[in-house]
Every structure is written in structure tokens, then in C-alpha cells.
A and B are shown apart, each in its own frame.
Chain A
Amino acid sequence: MARRRVPSPVRLPPFQTLLDAHGRDVHRFLIASVGATDADDCYQETWLAALRAYPRLHDASNLKSWIFTVAHRKAIDHVRARRRAPVAVGGEPPEPSPAPAAPGGAGLGDDDLWARVRELPPKQRTAVALRYVADAGYDEISAVMGTSEDAARRNVHEALKRLRTEYRR
């Protein structure tokens, strides 16, 4: 089996190091982005895509941003595929979407706050998940989402404003 290896110009740490450092947060980020039911699939797709591309990586200086960029893209693909999918093709029955919090109820339950996050506009949702799940700085959020740092800050700010209104209700 003669597999030619393209030598990487940078010193890459063993992939397991990356998984140890960020596996958990990537999974939590995906739960926040696509919901618990689909997070496992997205998680696997994310890490397999990363593993495939890893030896050819040219810059190992910010692997955290890199892996969350991959996860972010997988989450987007996933949401798009969901939207395109006809409702009830054979096979598994469609997952029930999380029940919306009772309007006018006394505050939000533990799951409800993040269910609300999932209903935010996509950019706000991603920015909030990166910041409060993955503990990402605005520089990292902007790197992952391909926006400016100002835009990252604005996305988080707008999201918080919206959530705060609902949270107080």
C-alpha cells in the first residue's frame, strides 16, 4: 500500500491532543447549534473532516479557531439539509422539535434559555454559542465566522439584548 504523504510545512501536534483539548466544547457547541439529537452526527462529521484535512494544514497557530470553524460549517450544512429534507421520508420519524416555553410563564427553564438561543438569527446564535459554550474571545469568534471583530461583538450584543427581553418576561 503506497500512500504518498505530503509533508506538512508546520509541526502538527498529535491529533488526539486537539481532541482532548476541544472535543468536549465542540460537542457542547453543536448541541447549542443544532440540538442534542443531531449533535452526535455533526460531531462525528466535524472531527472526521478535520482529521482528513489535518496533515495538510499550513498553520497550526490557532487550532481552536480551526476546529470550531469546521464545526460551524458542519452545523450550517446540517441545518440546510434539514430544511431541504421533505418532511417524513421513509425511515426514521421526524424528531419532535423542542416544545416552546409557555408564553407568559414564570421565567425560562434550564433548557428553554438555550432553546431560545437556537431560535435566534444564525449569526447571533453561533456567536453566542461560541462565546458562552466554547468560551471564545471576539477574535476567535470573528476567525470562526469570517467576520470582523466588531461584527462578532455586535452579534453577541444583539443576541443578549433579545434574550434579556425574553428572559425578563
Chain B
Amino acid sequence: MMTEIEHELRRRAPRTDPVPDLSQAAAAAGLLDVAFATLDSPLGTLLLATTPRGLVRLAYVDHEGADSVLEQLATKVSPRILAARHELDEPRRELDQYFAGARRRFELPLDWRLTHGFTRRVLQATANVPYGATSTYKQVAAQAGSPLAFRAAGNALGSNPIPIVVPCHRILHSGGGLGGYTGGLERKRLLLAVESGQPRLADP
């Protein structure tokens, strides 16, 4: 049973709104290993995560779930993860420009640490496929040093931690088939349509 004084203590307890922001001080102290923010895009909500080295992760929230992406980052990169919009100003700006059709090349630094070996080589070959062009699983496998490993190249692209910016949507089957896509084929179609000069995804 709660006594009157207990009731009063709870009722009159200090309030706070909003709590002070921590992310800037954490970044200044070198304690922010992973900063994240979301971005509303024509392809749905994107989760962006950066380390001091560069963009380390981009995820379609409806596809992977923000919580599970952040948990992966906590395990694989560092648990020192905070929401910090200001740390993602540059990626957000470049992506906005890209969706508006006003940017054909990303210039933001990337942190490749979530990729290794063959996968990294495939993705780095993919990063060199220019806007509006396409390549094939076979070609990127060859560029990664294993011409016969096109199936493994497909897997590597499927595990792309930074889709859109590392344009795995530009990789197709040799026969011209779409192949697969981490965020669903509809998104791959849309991205390719935008880059081929078809209707814009967003108003500029």
C-alpha cells in the first residue's frame, strides 16, 4: 500500500523534457564508434550508420528492421552506438541528391569493415560500375579474381552492407535477367529506372 507521502513523492518527482543531447559530446570525446540516423526516401525509410572512417551500413528498415541492424552493428563493430543525425549530414545530403536525380556519383567515404575477402573484392568491383550502366555477376566475379565464381558473387552482392551507395542494383544476370536484390526486386527495378533517365523517384 502506498502511503500519502509516497504518493506525493511520485507525483511531485522532478520532470525532464527533453533530456540533454549526448551525441555531440560523445563524438567530441572520441567515444562515438557508430552513429546512426534514418532517412525518408522514395524507397522507404533507410537506416544509415557511420563510423569515424565512413559509411559502414545502409539498410531498408522495412526489410531488415532497425533493431536487428543495430544489434548486428553492436556485435560486429562496437556497442558504442548512438543516434546522431549531425554525424550523417553528408550521406543524407548525397542520398537526397541522388534520389532527386541530381547526383550520379557518391563521394562520401566508406568503411568496408563489414566485408571480407572475395565479398569485399566483388563489392569494390561493383562500386566502380558507373551510374546508368550495368554489369553482370560473371564480370564482377572475374574482376574479383574468380571468373567462375559468379554464384558466389551473387551471394556477395546479396550481403552488401551498403546498398544504393555500393550499387549492387547495377549487377544483372548475363542473360539480362534482373537477378536478386537485398531490398526486394521492386526496388532494384526502380533504381535502374531512375538511372536510365526514366521518371524521377522524387520531385527535385
Contact = CB atoms under 8 A, between A and B. Distances in A.
Contacts of B22: 19, 23, 44, 47-48
B204 interface: no
A5 B81 CA distance: 15
Interface residues of B, number: 33
Interface stretch (B7-15, B115-123, B129-137, B153-161): B7-15
Nearest to A110: B12
Given A14-B73, A28-B16, A40-B20, A19 B78 contact: no
A153 interface: no
A19 B16 contact: no
A19 B75 CA distance: 18
Given A13-B74, A32-B14, A132 B9 contact: yes
Contact of B31 (A8, A13, A40, A51): A51
Contacts, number: 97
Interface in A29-73: 31-32, 36, 40, 43-44, 47-48, 51-52, 54-55
Interface stretch (A76-84, A137-145, A160-168): A160-168
Given A28-B15, A110-B12, A132-B13, A16 B25 contact: no
B81 A113 contact: no
A27 interface: yes
B80 A55 contact: yes
B59 interface: no
B144 interface: no
B78 A160 contact: no
B82 A24 contact: no
A36 B14 contact: yes
Interface of A: 1, 5, 8, 11-17, 19, 23-24, 27-28, 31-32, 36, 40, 43-44, 47-48, 51-52, 54-55, 110-111, 113-114, 117, 128, 132-133, 160, 163-164, 167
19 contacts: A1-B53, A5-B78, A8-B79, A15-B79, A16-B81, A23-B22, A27-B20, A28-B16, A32-B13, A48-B31, A51-B26, A51-B82, A52-B29, A55-B79, A114-B12, A114-B13, A114-B14, A132-B9, A164-B5
Q: 3 closest pairs, A vs B, by CB?
A: A31-B14, A12-B79, A14-B81
